[in-house]
Amino acid sequence: MLDEARATLAEGLGVAPESLSFTPGGPTGLRLGLEGLRYAARRTGARLVASAVDHSAILLPARHAAAAGGQDLLGQVPVDALGRIDLTAWAAALTTPGTAVAALQSANGEVGTRQPLEQAYQECRRRGIPLLVDATAGLGRDATPQAYDVLVGDARSFAGPAGVGLLVLPPRTRWRLPGPPTELEGGRVDIEPVLPLVLGAAQAWVHTVAAREADARAARALIDTIRTAASAIPDTEVVGDPVDRLPHVVTCSFLLADGESLVTELDRRGVAVASGSACTSSTLEPSHVLAAMGALTHGNIRVTLPLESVTPTRADGVAALVSALPQAVAAVRAQLESR
């Protein structure tokens, strides 16, 4: 049964079943993927090049290692106001001696912006630097990336269960973990996959991709209505690329509002959204994605649309958000003004 699920998912991703391993989640997949690339390339060096908006599972350990190592172990490539990497800066970062590995997301899960993967991969290939592509934000909802040496996904992005990461290692990729090889998942993971979760992931994949194009088209139109409605509110920024983006994700920033109150105010009106604001996170540090883009990190709301097959009322939810948003923002701003 595990083999069947693996075959289904591998076929969907366009790879051989032997190239696909299951990890206990997307972030673990990212960590393992990177660790194996780095160890296999240890004679070249230990430096990682990644974008400033990549996943915390990639950036935080690398920043920690760079701080502890006291050497140039991390090259962070800046992004523009839309959240997209500058390819010239990407290429320049790769030329720094000791660069062994590169990582780049296919698209950003907070603001939706897609990265120029093909070009970024060509720059890596030219220099013989392996590229890990993080597709955890959009796998199944958007076209599957083809330009990579390691691909990592998370079943949650295609409405599968939490706890299933996908680690894709084509035979051409030089990848090895330190220490003796494990007995599991082609020697790549030391935790056995949980069968019911993997079966759920395979089933979710089949359902998601069967309706992908129609669902993405509808989601894209719904996100556009949110973008338009939010833009009409004064002192508001809709963050991320309006067109070259994931179909189902958007973040809006409202000046002089706080995200937590906004989420509460919307909730009171029967609309559920998330906030990515600095003031609602336990660390008080602003979102590294919004900060790297130079975007406002307070007064944020983030919408990640579910699949229509999972939440048939999603269009109603968007309509409710669009109608409640102007008044909710005005109410939160008025509350704040009086403080």
Q: Which residues bind other proteins (CB under 8 A)?
A: 52, 78, 235, 237, 253, 255-260, 263, 274-286, 290-292, 294-299, 336-337, 339
At 106, list the tokens: 């296919």
C-alpha atoms less than 13 angstroms from C-alpha of 171 in its C-beta half-sphere: 4
> Cβ closer to other proteins: 106 or 275?
275
> Cβ closer to other proteins: 188 or 333?
333
Eight-state DSSP code of residue 79: B
Residue 127 sits at the vertex; the CA angle it makes with 79 and 113, to the nearest 5 degrees, is 25
Q: How far is the CB of 52 from other proteins (least distance, A)?
A: 8
The total of other beta-carbon atoms located within 10 Å of residue 304's CB is: 19
Q: In angstroms, rounded to a whole number, what is the distance separating the alpha carbons of residues 57 and 162?
A: 16
Q: How far is the CB of 296 from other proteins (least distance, A)?
A: 4
At 289, list the tokens: 């994605």
Say what angle helices 314-337 and 259-268 make with each other, to 10 degrees: 130
DSSP string for 33-65: HHHHHHHHTTTT--EEEEETTS-HHHHHHHHHH
> Cβ closer to other proteins: 80 or 316?
80
> Cβ closer to other proteins: 143 or 291?
291
> Cβ closer to other proteins: 120 or 290?
290
Q: In angstroms, rounded to a whole number, what is the distance separating the alpha carbons of residues 133 and 192?
A: 24
Q: How far is the CB of 86 from other proteins (least distance, A)?
A: 12
Q: How far is the CB of 332 from other proteins (least distance, A)?
A: 10
Q: How far is the CB of 129 from other proteins (least distance, A)?
A: 24
Q: How far is the CB of 91 from other proteins (least distance, A)?
A: 19
Eight-state DSSP code of residue 189: B
Contact 55, 105 (CB under 8 A): yes
Strand pairing class (249-254; 300-304): antiparallel
At 276, list the tokens: 């990515």
Q: How far is the CB of 285 from other proteins (least distance, A)?
A: 6
Question: What amino acid is encoded at 151 in this protein?
Answer: L
Q: Which residue from 193, 150, 142, 144 is spatially nearest to 171, judged by alpha carbons?
A: 150
> Cβ closer to other proteins: 85 or 218?
85
Q: Which residue from 259, 261, 293 is spatially nearest to 277, judged by alpha carbons?
A: 259
> Cβ closer to other proteins: 140 or 259?
259
> Cβ closer to other proteins: 231 or 323?
231
Q: How far is the CB of 67 from other proteins (least distance, A)?
A: 11
